Amino acid sequence: MAKKIKVATTSLAGCFGCHMSFLDIDERILQLAEVAEFDRSPLTDIKHCGDIVDIGLVEGGLCNAENVHTLREFRKHCRTLVAVGACAINGGLPAMRNHIALEECLAEAYLQGVGVDNPHIPNDPELPLLLDRVHPIHEVVKVDYFLPGCPPSADVFWKFLTDLVSGREPSLSYELVHYD
């Protein structure tokens, strides 16, 4: 039997909707499991890539320092890195805060907002610090492929992965390209 290709996934500033959509490939996951095995992923609960993986799927953009560390570590372990979904590709909905100063955002959430008691901006070192703006991942690491959608449909994942696994240049037909 041929060696299985290794797939990893991770989620940054996203909603896990892309991961959910991936799982919507339903029973096709069994076919996939015959040719691929999963390394790091919320689906396997493996926290760090054991070794170099063939394909890494990233959901979500970069909104804090931890996202940057995670992405960089992930990139290092992936031969092919794929930006999955609107947030990874253009920041997505989290980036809608970009035209509001971070200071204002935090003040609204933790200082002056409705229903705030004990107003203070959380400063526990365990909490990742927010970046001034949310960025798409291609602004911080090299990205090899983009799967647009919010989320990309299960068919997009399926088409893309089957293309890649069988050595074809991945391509998405008109029906598979959408941004919402």
Partner 1 sequence: MTTNPTITIDGKTVPFREGETLMEAATRAGIYIPHLCHNPEFTPHGSCKLCTVQVNGRNCRACTFPADVGQTVLNDTQELNDTRRTITQMLFVEGNHFCPSCEKSGNCDLQGAAYFLNMLDGHFPYFYPSRQMDASHPDVLLDRDRCIFCELCVRASREVDGKNVFGIAGRGIGNRLVVNSSSGLLKDSELDAGDKATQVCPVGAIIVKHHGFEVPIGERIYDGKPIDEVSLAKEMAMGEGENG
Partner 2 sequence: MPLTELERGRVLEIVRRHGSEPTRLLQILREMQEEFRHVPGEAMEIAAAELGVPRPQVQGVAEFYSFLSLLPQGRFHLLISDSISDQMLGSRELAAYLAEKLGVEPGATRADGRVSLGFTSCTGLCDQGPAGLVNGLWLSRLDCQRIDLIADAIERELPLAEWPGEWFAVEDNIRQPGLLLTGPIEPGSALKLAVENGFDAVFTEIDRSGLRGRGGAGFQTSWKWKFCFEGPEELAICPVDKREKIERYVVCNADEGEPGTFKDRVLLNRYAHQVFEGMTLCAGIVGASQGFLYLRGEYLSLRPRLEAVLAERRSQNLLGVNILGQAGFDFDIEIHLGAGAYICGEESALIESLEGKRGVPRNRPPYPVTHGYLGRPTVVNNVETFTAAAAITLKGGEWFASHGTEKSKGSKILSICGDCARPGIYEYDFGVSIAQILDDCGAENTLGVQVGGPSGTFISEREFSRRLAFEDLASGGSFMIFDQSRDILQIVRNFTHFFAHESCGFCTPCRVGTSLLRNELDKICSGHGTAGDLVELGNLGRFIKSASHCGLGQTAANPVLNTLERYPEVYQARLKSIGFEPGFDLDGALETARRLTGRDDAMAHLEQEES
Report the alpha-carbon distance of residue 143 to residue 83 in Å, rounded: 7
Report the alpha-carbon distance of residue 43 to residue 113 in Å, rounded: 36
Asked if 95 touches partner 1 (CB under 8 A), the answer is yes
Omega before residue 94 within 30° of 0, cis: no
Residue with Cβ nearer partner 2 (85 or 136): 136
Asked if 146 touches partner 1 (CB under 8 A), the answer is yes
**Cα dihedral: 176, 58, 145, 8 (round 10):** -100
Interacting span for partner 1 (CB under 8 A) from 3-11, 22-30, 81-89, 106-114: 81-89
Q: Which does 90 bind (CB under 5 to 8 A by kind): partner 1, partner 2, none?
A: partner 1
Asked if 142 touches partner 1 (CB under 8 A), the answer is no
Maximum separation of any 2 CA atoms in the chain, in Å: 62
| All residues at 6 or more sequence positions from 33 whose CB lies less than 8 Å from its CB, including other chains | none
Q: Pull the structure tokens for residue 22.
A: 């991936």
Residue with Cβ nearer partner 2 (98 or 162): 98
Residue with Cβ nearer partner 2 (93 or 107): 107
Q: Give me the residues that bind partner 1 (CB under 8 A), please.
A: 83, 86, 89-93, 95-96, 98-99, 133, 135-136, 138-139, 143, 145-148, 150, 171-172, 174, 177-180
